[in-house]
Amino acid sequence: MADLALAPVTRQVSGRAAPAAVPSGPERGQPLASRVAELPVLDATGRQVPFGALFRERRAIVVFVRHFLCYICKEYVEDLAKIPKSFLQEANVTLIVIGQSSYHHIEPFCKLTGYSHEIYVDPEREIYKNLGMKRGEEIALSGKSPHVKSNILSGSIRSLWRAVTGPLFDFQGDPAQQGGTLVLGPGNNIHFIHRDRNRLDHKPINSVLQLVGVKHVDFTNRPSVIHV
């Protein structure tokens, strides 16, 4: 499918044509632009991989997180880590997390969260920008997330502690950058896109899994009850 260039749209104002707002990134049903697919992400070794290569031959859930010190992102990724690989394989889907830190932070973040699916970083945030991911927080009622366990005080204190005790004292990404979730591939097809308006506006994981035919996952920590 050819790349879709969004042409400026006009609207009538007092008998004159005035420019209307142009979307800041691609939307569902539009193809991902080739130039965006060619932008690099880095793996845990620093090796560059074209973004589009991650889903060229397969369907993928791609989750962009705010930054690796964000306690909300940490707890969300901890739940992503609970998705059995067998569930994804049955649906022929892969799961990918993308952050915006240095690649040096990938391995410690995976150890911290228990995440073992695919993960990359976009340190320059070029893909974030081209996908129209928001920077800054929009005041909006996002409801209570089923994936966030900490309150803002305890979560922020733990994030700060990780920052000051880590080998590199940084925020592991731009603290103002928001993330989002996409379903992409095969090829440059965009099947679903959600841009987070604020740190709590991520999509519930099971609602995304449902879109791609992956089994529902129980994210509660309650032990299973065995009926005899």
DSSP 8-state symbol, 18: E
CA separation for the pair 67, 8 (Å, rounded): 33
Which pLDDT score, from 0 to 100, does residue 6 have? 29
pTM of the model: 0.77
CA 55 to chain CA centroid, nearest Å: 14
Q: Check if the beta carbon of residue 37 is closer than 8 Å to that of residue 30.
A: no
Could you give all domains of the chain from N- to C-terminal order, each with its CATH number? Answer: 30-210 (3.40.30.10)
Distance of CA 117 to the CA centre of its chain: 13
- For residue 216, what are its two tokens? 């529902």
Residues of the chain predicted below pLDDT 50:
1-23, 151, 153-155, 161, 222-228
Q: What are phi and psi of 172, to 5 degrees?
A: 55, 40
What percent of the chain has a predicted confidence (pLDDT) above 90?
Answer: 55
Residue 160: what pLDDT? 53
The pLDDT assigned to 168 comes to 56
Look at residue 147 in the predicted model and tell me its pLDDT. 63
Q: What is the per-residue pLDDT for 70? A: 80
Alpha carbon separation from 191 to 5, 32, 35, 61, 214 (Å, rounded): 18, 10, 19, 10, 15
- Residue-wise pLDDT for 91-129, tens only, equals 999 999 999 989 998 999 999 999 999 999 999 999 999
What is the reported pLDDT for 68?
83
Residues with Cβ within 8 Å of 140's Cβ and at least 6 positions away in sequence, in order, are 197, 198, 201
Residue 125 has what pLDDT?
Answer: 95
DSSP E strands: which ranges in 5-58?
Answer: 10-13, 16-19, 40-42, 48-50
